[in-house]
Amino acid sequence: MNKMAEEIFINKKEDIIIPFDYIGDELWQSNTERIITALDELWSNDKANPIPIEEIEALELRLGASLPDTLKLFYQTFGIADIGEELQQFSDIDYIIKIWEPHPEYGPDFTAEDMAVLPSLITFSEYLGNGNMFCFHKDTKEIYYFDHDSQPYITKLFNSFDDYLKGCLVFAQADLFGDVEQDLVEQWAEEVVCDLVGEDIVRKWMY
């Protein structure tokens, strides 16, 4: 069995795979595929199909903005795969501000800080379907988090899609626990992500 086909069982913290330093490095594709394949097998998912560049370019034309380069590479390689959070279908990707356009009176009471970036944010992922969403900035390509529960509603969490995906794939491995309790693997995964991106970001993201 080759490395890409190896099953993943987390029995100690060191078993958790940090998939890459950055998207495009030597191991990013094989490690990412290994984790996604394990999740697909666990949840009986159909394997997502890579997305042709023509579809990506059509999305960019509709948005009037380019996607982050590494997000495009991910789509071309893995499609809308299960990464532990819900990547949106292309038909759902849009400027987040459009959500409240029909009835702005029912929208959040955005702060001035929120409004400084809100018109530039494009959704691409939903946090477990609870109404919170991840967006990229159409110009800087930085990753922002919309948290519908508290002000400020908009927080920059990552400089790039790479860091978001890396965190997702580490957190997702908590479901791949072996002969130890899942709660313990969840703790290990959180510790790994804290080391990668910082405790403040993990606290905002997960809590």
DSSP string computed for 108-126: ----HHHHHHGGGEEEEEE
178-179-180 Cα angle (round to 5): 95
Complete domains list, the chain, with CATH: 10-206 (3.40.1580.10)
Closest CA to 68 of 132, 163, 2: 163
What's the CA gap between 37 and 125, in Å, rounded? 20
Closest CA to 161 of 78, 72, 89: 72
Q: Is 51 helix (H, G, I), strand (E, B) or coil?
A: coil
User: Which pTM does this prediction carry?
Assistant: 0.95
> Residue-wise pLDDT tens for the chain (207 aa)?
334 457 899 999 999 999 999 999 999 999 999 999 999 999 999 999 999 999 999 999 999 999 999 999 999 999 999 999 999 999 999 999 999 998 888 889 999 999 999 999 999 999 876 789 999 999 999 999 999 988 999 999 999 999 999 999 999 999 999 999 999 999 999 999 999 999 999 999 998
Structure-block tokens of residue 67: 């996607």
Residues 6+ apart with CB under 8 A from 47: 37, 40, 81
Residue in this structure with the two tokens 């519908």, named with its chain if needed: 148
Q: Using CB atoms within 10 A of its CB, is residue 98 exposed (0-12), middle (13-18) or buried (19+)?
A: exposed
Torsion of CA 163, 185, 36, 131, to 10 degrees: -60
What's the CA gap between 189 and 172, in Å, rounded? 8
Point out which residues pair with 145 in neighbouring strands: 134, 155
